[in-house]
Amino acid sequence: MKKLIISLLIVSVISLLTWVSLGPFVTIYRATKATLEGDSETLEKCVDFESVRCSIKAQFLSEVFDNVPKDSNFLSGLMVSLSSVAIQTTIDILVTPEGITQIFREEVGPITGRKNFELAQVIFKPTSFKFASFNKFVFIIPVRSKSIFVILKRQGLSWKISNVVLPLEYLSKIAGEEDL
DSSP symbols for 70-88: TT--HHHHHHHHHHHHHHH
With CA atoms as reference, report the closest residue to 147 among 126, 133, 130. 126
pTM of the model as a whole = 0.71
- What is the enclosing helix (H) or strand (E) of 28? helix 2-37
Strand arrangement, sheet containing 136-143: 128-133, 136-143, 146-155, 158-165
Supply the DSSP symbol for 124: T
Evaluate whether 1 touches 9 at the Cβ level (below 8 Å): no
- CB-based contacts of 109, cutoff 8 Å, min separation 6: none
pLDDT value of residue 152: 93
Give me the residues of the chain with pLDDT under 50, please: 106-114, 174-180
Residue ranges of domains in the chain:
2-174
pLDDT value of residue 175: 47
pLDDT value of residue 178: 42
- What is the enclosing helix (H) or strand (E) of 136? strand 136-143
Q: What is the three-class DSSP state of 164?
A: strand
What's the half-sphere exposure (Cβ side, CA atoms, 13 Å) at 49?
Answer: 17
- CB-based contacts of 113, cutoff 8 Å, min separation 6: 179, 180
Apex 161 CA angle, 160 and 163, nearest 5 = 140
Please give the Cα distance from 146 to 167 (Å, whole number): 7
Apex 45 CA angle, 84 and 56, nearest 5 = 20
- CB-based contacts of 26, cutoff 8 Å, min separation 6: 159
